[in-house]
Structure 1
Amino acid sequence: MPAVSPVIDSSEWDHRRSALAGLSIETGRRRNQVAPGGRKVTDRMLVIPRKKRRMRSPTEKVKTPYGLEVVENHIPYPLPKDRLFRNLPQAVRAELAAISLSAAYRKGEILFAEGQAPRGIFVIYEGSVKLSANSFDGKSLILHLATPGDVVGLPGTISGKRYETTAEALEPVQASFISRRPFRDFVRAHGEVGLRVAETLSDIYHATYREVRYLGLSGSAEGKLARFLLDLTADQDHDHGHARAKLILTHEEIADVVGTSRETVTRLFAEFKRKRLVEVHGSRLLIVNKASLQKLLA
């Protein structure tokens, strides 16, 4: 059935046309009001100029509250670690755009909580997110640090089971959110995406198994910290044993990752710096002697 255009009478059309011209119209009887010069205002139309608003140029970038770049059209753009949506055909990417929403989070805000019914997945574009599990007595274990290109919330979104971790922004985060039902329908419709989902879930399983084995079987605290620092710089190019990374976790949070106390982490950092294994400048980490750190893993 064709769409029916609404009928607009002449007075309403005049009002709309004047509003578009940047004016607000107010009508009515003004017998008791006095205009400049002492003349009475009788039946007349009072025209009040509207406040001018700055129009954004189509080429001007939109600013977000946290200084992050808006993801145009909600289409995931290529990222080095993004293998779930990378190199999809343009038509498939357009379908993805239709079900994706862009979202920004402040540092410390929660994307989803452990035990919460799954709402969907989050694709991280900027910033970092920690995935942690918490015990009833208040202990916390950080299982993964999600960085640009990572997808969080995938296992629960696919299985329908509650989120097993809490996802918290470690810094301002820009992400794309896709609700559970539309995402599952999207996966069903595209076999290639389904295969990538299976590969990603396999990666999550192996990474979790590796962390459990590492925490349970690794001998010394210094070996655990050395492993954490080496993993942190694993994606960086090493030049003569040197690699740089950004330390976004506090000593207490690093302790939650490696399964030790904050005091032990602080002491080991001081020891590593004294032995010229690492250098720390604010939030910047420099691996000075990779070979010596690797020996601590034995």
Structure 2
Amino acid sequence: MISDHPHCFLCKHSLPEWYDAIAARSEIVAFKRGQVLFTEGEPASHFYFLHGGTIKVHKQWGAAKDLIIKFAAPGDVLGHRGMGKEQHFPVTATALEAGSACRISTEFFLSSLKVNNGLAISMMMLYAGELQEAEHKMRNMVHMDVKGRIAEALLTIRQVFGTDAGGNINNLLTKQDIASYAGTTYETLFKVLNEWGQEGIVAVSGKDIRIEKEKKLKGFILY
């Protein structure tokens, strides 16, 4: 596991003496695009340490809408949001592309924390970082207008997924996904992208989105 997946969060932050225990108590699970790893409301029985692929972490928002909380990439942890008093997953994790992850039980993860101080500290820093990010997103939802949220969403998505040779965002997301990440509706996203397209701020062709005037796009964002 260590040589094949050098960026695995669990192995990276555990003592070498703990590797045999990890090998005995973990399993590598493969997933396909569109597969759900766990669903909001289910008992939080497992942790996932992502080895490959990209995952969207999303939450029910209103009657029939989703809010995308974050994107997980190789090296990230999934399932930790279920830790707490009720021990249920507060979010859903869905694969945007095929990949694999190391899966362990919650019980073994707690045992690992007791043995590995480095892992415990790294998890504490992970929670602190995600809390800051959640506060940032909450502030944006309250104080930033919809154009600012869409602008920040496009820049973040480009940072996460990169661009192709033509400068288009390597987009694994649908327009609905982008709207969900920006905390808006598909109709509003469509309207704003059309407006920005006419102004030359972005270029949109089907699923392809290319940022043409980054400085102007950043001007919509409240820092």
Which runs of no fewer than 5 residues in structure 1 stay unpaired?
Answer: 1-72
For residues 158 and 76 of structure 1, what CA distance do their matches in structure 2 show?
Answer: 32
For residues 207 and 27 of structure 2, what CA distance do their matches in structure 1 show?
Answer: 31
Change (3 A) 1:236 1:288: farther
Alignment counterpart, residue 110 of structure 2, candidates 184, 187, 194: 184
For residues 217 and 194 of structure 2, what CA distance do their matches in structure 1 show?
Answer: 14
String of CA shifts for 1:258-297, please: whole Å, max 9, x gaps. 1222122122223333333334566654433221111111
CA contact (8 A) 1:75 1:94 kept: no
Which runs of no fewer than 5 residues in structure 2 stay unpaired?
Answer: none
Residue 146 of structure 1 deviates from its aligned partner by 1.4
Q: Secondary structure at the match of 1:117?
A: coil
For residues 41 and 4 of structure 2, what CA distance do their matches in structure 1 show?
Answer: 28
Please show how residues 100-115 of structure 1 align to structure 2 within 5 Å: 100-115=26-41
Change (3 A) 1:274 1:95: farther
Bigger relative contact order, structure 1 or 2 (CA pairs below 8 A, ≥6 apart): 2
Structure 1 counterpart of 2:63, one-letter code? D
For residues 232 and 162 of structure 1, what CA distance do their matches in structure 2 show?
Answer: 28
Structure 2 counterpart of 1:231, one-letter code? T
Q: Secondary structure at the match of 1:104?
A: strand
RMSD of Structure 2 on Structure 1 (CA): 2.9
Which residue in the other structure is 2:45 paired with? 119
CA contact (8 A) 1:76 1:176 kept: no
Q: Secondary structure at the match of 2:12?
A: coil
Which structure has the bigger radius of gyration?
A: 1
Residues paired across the two proteins, number: 220
Structure 1 counterpart of 2:220, one-letter code? L
Alignment counterpart, residue 254 of structure 1, candidates 160, 169, 178: 178
Alignment counterpart, residue 139 of structure 2, candidates 188, 194, 213: 213
Which residue in the other structure is 2:155 paired with? 230
CA contact (8 A) 1:130 1:142 kept: yes
For residues 46 and 57 of structure 2, what CA distance do their matches in structure 1 show?
Answer: 15
Identity of aligned residues (%): 23
For residues 136 and 297 of structure 1, what CA distance do their matches in structure 2 show?
Answer: 25
TM-score (norm 2): 0.84
CA contact (8 A) 1:276 1:289 kept: yes
String of CA shifts for 1:54-81, please: whole Å, max 9, x gaps. xxxxxxxxxxxxxxxxxxx4877234xx
CA contact (8 A) 2:9 2:49 kept: no
CA contact (8 A) 1:142 1:256 kept: yes
String of CA shifts for 1:100-149, please: whole Å, max 9, x gaps. 21111222221111111111111122222121211562232111121222
